[in-house]
Amino acid sequence: MRVLTTLGTAAALTLAAAAVAEHILRCGHARFVRALLLRRIVVGGALVAMAAMTLLVPNATATAPGTVEVQVKSEWDVTGLRPNGTTVNFLLKAVADGSDPSTLIAGGRIEGSNRAISEWSGTGAISGDVVTLTGVVTDSNASFLIGSPVKLVADASTNFVTFVFGPLAGGPFAGKTINAEGPARVTIRS
């Protein structure tokens, strides 16, 4: 899959560079075209070489020795209640990695059924099959959520996640916390 993506990227870059070169050539900038074509050959060659290395090196996509990686991904099945009693569903995506399972660097994306989309960053730790990730919202299309704490506790043995959002930094539920839970794909690689 990674090889196809890399080759597809190389092909797209090559075609885009060729189209730009044709346009510039028609406009009479031959020296720029020669430089662009040379750059296209070098970049295209480098991308093809990377793709070849992915094919030739066994486990090229495997985790580096001594590194731990975590992925948590849910569909819209993580459900909770807003402070006013209405239901809210979440789509969660989170990743974490590091050389020590007790000190991971984490981050992710939260999409709420209310159309709020937030990015967060923080830290995490693994204990057995359970991953705990905590952080703070750093960007959101609902700006009043920026600064709100986030906590995910995900179990790789059950593929279940508990999500705690808050106390919310602002908005109609400022100071309140939303608790949600549901199924999620939890992957731990070491």
Domain boundary among 10, 29, 56: 56
User: Is residue 89 domain-shared with residue 126, that is, in the same domain?
Assistant: yes
* Residue 61 placed within a domain: no
User: Is residue 161 domain-shared with residue 117, that is, in the same domain?
Assistant: yes
- Give CA separation, 15 vs 34, 46, 133, in Å: 16, 15, 42
Mark 29-65 as b/e (b = at least 16 C-beta within 10 Å).
Answer: eeeebeebeeebeeeeeebeebbeebeeeeeeeeeee
Total tally of structural domains belonging to the chain: 2
User: Is residue 166 domain-shared with residue 115, that is, in the same domain?
Assistant: yes
Q: Say how far apart CA 98 and CA 100 lie, in whole Å.
A: 6
**Range(s) of the domain holding residue 41:** 2-56
Question: CB atoms < 10 A from the CB of 21, how many?
Answer: 19
Determine the average pLDDT of the residues in 89-95. 95
Q: For 45-70, write each residue's pLDDT tens digit.
A: 444 434 433 333 333 344 455 688 99
pLDDT score of 160:
95
C-alpha neighbours within 13 Å on the C-beta side of residue 93: 5
Question: Position of tokens 């939303």?
Answer: 178
Amino acid at 157: S
Q: For 2-51, write each residue's pLDDT tens digit.
A: 333 333 444 444 444 444 444 444 444 444 444 444 444 444 444 443 44
- Give CA separation, 35 vs 18, 39, 48, in Å: 12, 6, 20
Token digits of residue 58: 């066994």
* Residue 62 placed within a domain: no
Token digits of residue 145: 């959520």
Mean pLDDT over the full length of the chain:
75
Q: Say how far apart CA 68 and CA 100 lie, in whole Å.
A: 7
Percent residues over pLDDT 90 in the chain: 57
Q: Say how far apart CA 170 and CA 172 lie, in whole Å.
A: 7
C-alpha neighbours within 13 Å on the C-beta side of residue 168: 18
User: Is residue 120 domain-shared with residue 40, that is, in the same domain?
Assistant: no
User: Is residue 174 domain-shared with residue 148, that is, in the same domain?
Assistant: yes
Token digits of residue 146: 């920026």
User: Is residue 81 domain-shared with residue 154, that is, in the same domain?
Assistant: yes
CATH number at residue 79: 2.40.160
User: Is residue 29 domain-shared with residue 102, that is, in the same domain?
Assistant: no
* Residue 12 placed within a domain: yes
User: Is residue 79 domain-shared with residue 29, that is, in the same domain?
Assistant: no
Percent residues over pLDDT 70 in the chain: 65
User: Is residue 87 domain-shared with residue 138, that is, in the same domain?
Assistant: yes
Q: For 105-153, write each residue's pLDDT tens digit.
A: 999 999 999 899 999 999 999 999 999 999 999 999 999 999 999 999 9
User: Is residue 75 domain-shared with residue 24, that is, in the same domain?
Assistant: no
* Residue 130 placed within a domain: yes
User: Is residue 79 domain-shared with residue 50, that is, in the same domain?
Assistant: no
* Residue 44 placed within a domain: yes
Question: pLDDT at residue 170 above 70?
Answer: yes
Question: Across the strands, what pairs with 178?
Answer: 165
* Residue 63 placed within a domain: no
User: Is residue 116 domain-shared with residue 146, that is, in the same domain?
Assistant: yes
* Residue 142 placed within a domain: yes
